[in-house]
Amino acid sequence: DAGVIQSPRHEVTEMGQEVTLRCKPISGHDYLFWYRQTMMRGLELLIYFNNNVPIDDSGMPEDRFSAKMPNASFSTLKIQPSEPRDSAVYFCASSFSTPLAGFSNQPQHFGDGTRLSIL
């Protein structure tokens, strides 16, 4: 089975431009997570979805960030307008279930990430 697939792998764009990151979770996984990794702050949860519905977006840094999951096999994370401080590696992860849903034995599976550079 294919793992979590993210695109693009690398994105370089100028400040002010719109950026769209894409993710295809593992088939059958009901949970999808977006994380951001920086040297200063490490990996941080931005938002997660359950059955395509956003559950918790408290980690989204600003209104410039938005995420959607129009169906079970696709999610996007959009930054508009982008700023240099948004430069980071963005990861998507999926899982079959979570501890809060009653399953504490389900690992999260991560994609290879999108390395974003805003000039």
- Which parts of this chain interact with another protein (CB under 8 A)? 4, 6, 31, 33, 35, 42-45, 48, 50, 55-56, 58-59, 91, 93, 98-101, 104-105, 107-113, 115
Q: Which CB, 45 or 72, lies closer to another protein?
A: 45
Q: What is the DSSP letter of 26?
A: P
Asked if residues 102 and 115 have their Cβ atoms less than 8 Å apart, the reply is no
Sorted by sequence, the CB contacts under 8 Å of residue 102 that are 6+ apart come out as none
Residue 81 CB, nearest approach to another protein (Å): 26
Q: How far apart are CA 5 and CA 22, in angstroms?
A: 8
Asked if residues 2 and 109 have their Cβ atoms less than 8 Å apart, the reply is no
Q: Which CB, 88 or 93, lies closer to another protein?
A: 93
Nearest Cα residue to 35 out of 47, 26, 21, 23: 47
Q: Which CB, 82 or 95, lies closer to another protein?
A: 95
Residue 57 CB, nearest approach to another protein (Å): 11
Q: Which CB, 82 or 114, lies closer to another protein?
A: 114
